[in-house]
Amino acid sequence: MAATEDRPEVRLVAHCRRCHGWLLSPRSVAEGIGPTCAIRERAELRAAGSPALTLFDIAA
Ligand SMILES: [Zn+2]
């Protein structure tokens, strides 16, 4: 498929730390979590986060 590429295809394989699904995009691999799970994780952190963080977020 990548016949025009000389570089060997080295693909980092990683699993989402939340749902353990395969991470396909380089960004997801770098973050260790899939995009959907990242959004959910942020929402959960916000919901369960400390009031200081929330205030800080509002102030910002
Ligand atoms: Zn996931």
The rounded Å distance from CA 47 to ligand 1 centre is: 19
56 located within any domain: yes
Examine residue 3 and state whether it is found in any structural domain, yes or no. Answer: no
- pLDDT given for residue 23 in this prediction: 93
Per-residue confidence (pLDDT) for residue 39, from 0 to 100: 96
Does residue 27 belong to any structural domain of this protein?
A: yes
Tally the domains of the chain.
1
Q: What's the CA-to-centroid distance between 28 and ligand 1, angstroms?
A: 9
Which pTM was predicted?
A: 0.56
In a domain, 5, yes or no: no
- Domain of residue 44: give its range: 11-60
pLDDT computed for residue 48 by the predictor: 86
Token representation of residue 37? 């799970």
Is residue 28 in some structural domain? yes
Say how far apart CA 36 and CA 2 lie, in whole Å: 29
36 falls within a domain: yes
pLDDT tens readout for residues 3-60: 566 766 555 568 999 999 999 999 999 999 999 999 999 999 888 866 655 555 655 5
Ligand 1 center–CA 45 separation, angstroms: 15
